Chain A
Amino acid sequence: QSALTQPASVSGSPGQSITVSCTGTSSDVGSYKLVSWYQQHPGNAPKLIIYEVSKRPSGVSNRFSGSKSGNAASLTISGLQAEDEADYYCCSYADTRVFGTGTKVTVL
């Protein structure tokens, strides 16, 4: 149950696209299409933004998209906006669950 690996920080200018990576192993990310992503603003509980690798819950902006290749998943935020500045966590689910180390996204 080792945490999935994410970059500590990613930054971009308004309107740009950025990608946050999430690297696991063949036992977690690589095994199932059950990767989700959460956004957390300071002082708030996390919010689900992507599930099952690439699906968006109702109400989540289509500027958020997800993908997976092998043992790595990715979250892309297009048309970056000031409100996207937050921490982002990936999560892989099998019988147990493991979160990523978290990435702070900064809008320059």
Chain B
Amino acid sequence: QVQLVESGGGLVKAGGSLRLSCAASGFTFSDYYMSWIRQAPGKGLEWVSYITASGDPIYYADSVKGRFTISRDNAKNSLYLQMNSLRVEDTAVYYCARDLEGGRTDVWGQGTTVTISS
């Protein structure tokens, strides 16, 4: 079945870095746009970034632009999020998600938790 599995979350000090990964299975990964979406504890959803099927173009939320980098490896059916210069406010559950045309997200992973300490 269609599945997205995130990994790489953890506890990091402010200013540090983390790399999240998302393993996709059950569908032709290279055909789809993919997104990262996060949710801070007790808060709402916040779109972080998305990448087109070919890897270009790429879009970021203003809150992460210049600090986060999204990438994909279609040969490995994997999506990544390199997060640098992390801030306390980046603490959240990070979801990997599959996008369909029109910007709708039809498949979500279970999420990976990122905690940034001060």
Contacts and interface: CB of A to CB of B under 8 A. Distances in A.
Contact of A1 (B45, B62, B109, B110): B62
Contact of B104 (A89, A93, A100): A93
A102 interface: yes
What band does the interface of chain A fall in when counting residues whose beta carbon is under 8 Å from B?
20 to 34
Interface string B73-112: 0000000000000000000000100001011111011110
A97 B45 CA distance: 11
What band does the interface of chain B fall in when counting residues whose beta carbon is under 8 Å from A?
20 to 34
Given A3-B44, A89-B44, A102-B44, A57 B61 contact: no
Contacts, number: 64
A57 B106 contact: yes
Contact of A100 (B37, B44, B61, B106): B44
15 contacts: A34-B102, A36-B103, A38-B45, A38-B105, A45-B111, A47-B108, A51-B102, A52-B104, A57-B106, A96-B59, A97-B35, A97-B59, A97-B103, A98-B47, A102-B44
Interface of A: 1, 3, 34, 36, 38, 40, 45-48, 51-52, 57, 87, 89, 91, 93-102
